[in-house]
Amino acid sequence: MRKYKRVSGELEKVRKKRLEHDKINDLKDGMKQRFDEILETINSREELLEEFDKDIFNALVVIDILKPTHCF
């Protein structure tokens, strides 16, 4: 009976540690998922900004061709 109580107590400690470990892993998974979402948002905005920059450049080239600012 003593051995059973001791083993039962040790098993309970292991269960508690496992629960703590699982909580930490869940938090890490949640943070990783959030990080991935933020990274995806940043990357999509960078792509939009690059497209916007190209559009501005192309518009400026057209303006420069139609109305040159540097006439000789």
DSSP state string for the chain: -HHHHHHHHHHHHHHHHHHHHHHHHHHHHHHHHHHHHHHHHHHHHHHHHHHHHHHHHHHHHHHHHHS-S---
pLDDT at 68: 60
pLDDT at 38: 92
pLDDT at 66: 64
Residues (pLDDT < 70) of the chain are 64-72
Q: pTM score, two decimals?
A: 0.53
